[in-house]
Structure 1
Amino acid sequence: MFKNLSLKNRIALFYSFTFSIVLLVIFAFIYYTVNYGINKTLYEILKEETDHHFDYVLHEPTLEHYVHPHEWDEVEHTDVALNPVFIAIYNQEFQLVENSPNLVQNKLEWNKNQKENTPYLANYNTVELLISQTKLIHHGDVVGYLVVGVSTKHNQLALGYLKTGLMILFPISVVMIFIFARLIAGQSTKPVFSIIKTAKKITENNLSERITLPKNKDELYLLSITINSLVGRLETQLQKAKQFSADASHELRTPLAVVKGTLEILIRKKRTIEEYNEKINYTLKQVERLERLVEQFLVLSRVENNSIELKPSTFEIKKEVLNSIERFQVLLEEKQISVFTSDICTHTTENFKELFEIIIDNILSNAIKYSNFKGKITVSSFIKNNIYFLSFQDNGIGIDEKELQMIQNRFYRIDDNNSADTIGSGLGLNIATQLADISDIQLKIESQKKIGTVIFIGLKIK
């Protein structure tokens, strides 16, 4: 049942219950404190009256009177309505010799079963009295017996009124506490409902919505920041997924269309063996382009989704560069490009070898694509401030200064007549740039139109 209540009512009930326990303890403390104070006052009055009469008899030169001549004129001995004090004095034979005027009916008798100077409760004409009794001593001899009674009526009435008031006040207080707690809880949970309202608006097509941060930097503020951060990450991932899907479909459409068109042309009529070979070779090149695109997209997807397992290892830089050049030997021979590597110094580093290989391959691939027939690529190195720098310089078509700022963007390709026939996807440098960031590798591109391009990468070494 409690679980089915709203958060506001649960908070209100919790605070009401807690405060009710505290209030009950406070009321009980008040009642018992007042009760203790009243009883203490009664005992003090009783002792004061007893000591007064005892001292009077004790210090009288001769025992002519058991009480002071004007004692009975005092209001507490004459009145029975306002804090009366009843007194009865007996002689040695337990015969009543003196009593206060307010003892109009029965007398206060000496109780042989009660100890002296030890107060006890007894009824007198339906009125409860607190009674104390003691011997009266004059010059060392017992000359009489004193019985003093103090009415507890008014004190009991006061305690009764207090008890009744507290019992009436307690449920009223609990109800009022619940009402105010519910109002306060309603105000306190407003940000929660605001978060819920905003969260309902967040959909796949509306991930730009954000929760308004509360003014107070409390737990709800942290919750709002966390949810906003989560939505932001989801929005980024969804945008990446959409971008990846759009990019893939865009880039794969062209080679597929070429393959389809070429095959359709081949089956329309019979052709010579040379024509078949030409078209088949052309189709194979498009298939190879598709294969490279798929590989690049897989790498890009793994990078953007942080699914690449990064395991740093120690490797020799020059060796990896030479291995990469060897992988491109066929393409180099096709364009008759010369590669000079004599200025590469030998040095080891600790980094992500797999990512370094992809970066080098993409840089060399671009250098080969945009180099002229019988061109030249020079790979050299130098060390500065514990950083090993590699430079890849070609004498190809070069890049304009305006386009140089965008060359590392995804799918960006130079709009130039000299590069129109160059097969590429515009992904190589973008992937190299992202992997360089992950690997903490510096990457810088310098280029001049019709002169060539130089790409620098820097690795930290020990």
Structure 2
Amino acid sequence: MSPAISVELRFKDRVALHYVLATAALVAAAYLLVFGVVRHRVYTDLDANLRFEAAKHMGELAVSGRTVRFADRSEWEEREHREVQVDPVFIQVNDAQGRLMDRSPNLKADQLAFDATPGWRAPRNSMLRGKAIRQVQVPIVRDGAPVGYLLSGLSSEAAQHVLDSLALVLLGSFPVVLLVLFGSARRLAGRSIAPIAQITATTARITRNNLAERIALPPRPDELHTLASAINGLLQRVEQAVAREKQFTADASHELRTPLAVLKGTLEVLVRKPRTPAEYVDNITLGIQEIDRLTHLVEQLLLLARFENHAPGPHRQELAVRSSVHDVLLRHRGALSAKHIRVDVEDDPADAIASDPYLVDLILDNVLSNAIKYSPAGSTIAVGLAHRGPRLVCTVADQGIGICPTDLARIFDPLYRSDALAHKHIDGTGLGLSIVAKACTLLGIERTVQSELGQGTVFTLVFPV
């Protein structure tokens, strides 16, 4: 079947067609088997009669030297005149060279076909007077040597008629059976895919504005139930993703609006009346700080969008996690000195891993900067490096304000800050841990957070082998 025909057929027609093609092969095999069995049975009975007739007339032969004749030919001829045979038996005697020596009266001037190959002959089909016969050729043996052959034949017209009629019936019924099967299969396929049509109609109604609608699950736990469940699961994930997108857009707009409002207010204050140079410096410095905050926020939003849409493939190479930790701490030495925070880094002699240096630095920078921001002055941050089997485990433990247990599940959401109103003096965008989550997923790093409010937080990173 050509691809063009396959495309034009509806799904239920393709199902019915494939079913009929498979069934047609089975029906054809069954028909051939039936015909073969009947043919074998017919010819077996015919051959048994042939052998019986040959054995019966073998005893009526008279052998004299090399001459073989019927001993009671005159009686045979008289019986032929008295009886009318429905299925006449034809008997013929040939010598060893195949020359005709005698034959039954009903053969008249005709002869049975002789096979000159020596030995026993299996029954075979032949023709006599334009009609089909079945004949067998049996050697006549005297003193261990063949002296001639007895040929016995029976009309096979009736048997052939039975076989031809059977073949005609089978061939005639074959397309009828296929048509009936196609119609039944098409109807059953239509009923079977009816739930799929309902699923299609439901999914066609679902848009961005009604993502809460779900497909009704079939009552039986079959493949359609699995399909509907999978689509409902997909819709659930899409709904959650759209909800996160809406929330992210709203939060991003709010975060962008805040520094812009501060910047606008500062400039409006400057233009209302002349100011002293010191006032200009203070307000311009505040504007620059808000611009820096806005720039940092935009950079983090762009980085997060880069992870969301076109996640870069990691460029893995061997690196030492301890060296990466020290590089991050060196960048934050100003904040550490200002708050008099001590950082204890536990050395592990075998802390080398194969990973992306940029992404590992990004992860450690965000985790350590959070620990520094939320730790009180004079506290200690402990960075641990240890092996758990073949994997390297990095822990960052601070003595900061901690995270509310109800907020732990959301701290990796974009623009989410745990109890932000309680620490408005601490700068942050709520994007750092979202970037950490995306980078960890890309590198296959397992991340866990343990925190106790007022006691501190422990971030654990388990690097893959």
After TM superposition, is the score higher than 0.5?
yes
* Alpha-carbon separation, structure 2, partners of 1:319 and 1:97: 115
Please state how far the C-alpha of 1:164 moved relative to its aligned partner.
3.4
Identity %: 28
Q: Is the 8 A contact 1:191 1:214 kept in 2?
A: no
Please state how far the C-alpha of 1:354 moved relative to its aligned partner.
3.7
Q: State the AA in 1 paired with 2:458.
A: F
1:281 to 280, 285, 304: 285
Q: Is the 8 A contact 1:57 1:67 kept in 2?
A: no
User: Any idea what the Cα deviations from partners look like across 1:105-131, whole Å, max 9, x if unmatched?
Assistant: xx53254685389985323xx976657
* Alpha-carbon separation, structure 2, partners of 1:359 and 1:148: 101
The aligned counterpart of 1:2 is 5
Please state how far the C-alpha of 1:248 moved relative to its aligned partner.
0.9
* Alpha-carbon separation, structure 2, partners of 1:190 and 1:154: 53
Residue 186 to residue 388, structure 1, CA distance change in 2 (3 Å): closer
Residue 83 to residue 339, structure 1, CA distance change in 2 (3 Å): same
* Alpha-carbon separation, structure 1, partners of 2:150 and 2:313: 102
Q: Is the 8 A contact 2:381 2:399 kept in 1?
A: yes
Instruction: Determine if the alignment matches structure 1 residue 408 to structure 2 residue 380.
Output: no
Residue 254 to residue 58, structure 1, CA distance change in 2 (3 Å): same
Q: Write out aligned runs for 1:7-406 (5 A).
A: 7-31=11-35, 33-58=37-62, 66=72, 78-80=83-85, 82-85=86-89, 107-109=106-108, 111=110, 114-115=113-114, 120-123=126-129, 150-190=154-194, 192-208=196-212, 209=214, 212=217, 215=220, 231=235, 234-302=238-306, 307=311, 309-311=313-315, 315=319, 319-331=323-335, 336-341=338-343, 343-347=344-348, 348-350=351-353, 353-363=357-367, 365-366=369-370, 369=373, 375-381=377-383, 387=393, 389-393=395-399, 398=401, 405=408
* Alpha-carbon separation, structure 1, partners of 2:286 and 2:141: 140
Aligned to 1:444, the other structure's residue is in SS state: strand
Q: Is the 8 A contact 1:403 1:414 kept in 2?
A: no
Q: Which runs of 5+ in 2 are unaligned?
A: 64-68, 94-99, 116-120, 144-148
Q: State the AA in 1 paired with 2:265.
A: G
* Alpha-carbon separation, structure 2, partners of 1:404 and 1:172: 71
Output the aligned Cα RMSD.
5.0
Larger CA deviation: 250-259 vs 32-41: 32-41
Q: Is the 8 A contact 2:134 2:154 kept in 1?
A: yes
Please state how far the C-alpha of 1:217 moved relative to its aligned partner.
5.9
Q: State the AA in 2 paired with 1:257.
A: A
* Alpha-carbon separation, structure 1, partners of 2:361 and 2:114: 107
Q: Is the 8 A contact 1:355 1:439 kept in 2?
A: no
* Alpha-carbon separation, structure 1, partners of 2:361 and 2:103: 125
The aligned counterpart of 1:425 is 429
User: Any idea what the Cα deviations from partners look like across 1:401-441, whole Å, max 9, x if unmatched?
Assistant: 66775783642353657x34444334445655665676335
Q: Which runs of 5+ in 1 are unaligned?
A: 100-106, 140-144
* Alpha-carbon separation, structure 1, partners of 2:135 and 2:438: 99
User: Any idea what the Cα deviations from partners look like across 1:327-365, whole Å, max 9, x if unmatched?
Assistant: 3455567xx422334x43444443654445445544554
Please state how far the C-alpha of 1:23 moved relative to its aligned partner.
3.3
* Alpha-carbon separation, structure 2, partners of 1:344 and 1:329: 14
Aligned to 2:59, the other structure's residue is in SS state: helix
Q: State the AA in 1 paired with 2:165.
A: Y
* Alpha-carbon separation, structure 2, partners of 1:227 and 1:312: 36
Q: TM-score, normalised by structure 1?
A: 0.70
Residue 330 to residue 134, structure 1, CA distance change in 2 (3 Å): closer
* Alpha-carbon separation, structure 2, partners of 1:255 and 1:166: 88
Residue 32 to residue 352, structure 1, CA distance change in 2 (3 Å): closer
Q: State the AA in 1 paired with 2:342.
A: F
The alignment of Structure 1 onto Structure 2 pairs a total of residues equal to 427
* Alpha-carbon separation, structure 1, partners of 2:168 and 2:12: 33
User: Any idea what the Cα deviations from partners look like across 1:65-123, whole Å, max 9, x if unmatched?
Assistant: 7179899889x98344x44446799xxxx999996xxxxxxx53254685389985323
Q: Is the 8 A contact 2:449 2:460 kept in 1?
A: yes
Q: Is the 8 A contact 1:108 1:147 kept in 2?
A: no
Q: Is the 8 A contact 2:447 2:459 kept in 1?
A: yes
The aligned counterpart of 2:97 is none
* Alpha-carbon separation, structure 2, partners of 1:407 and 1:239: 14
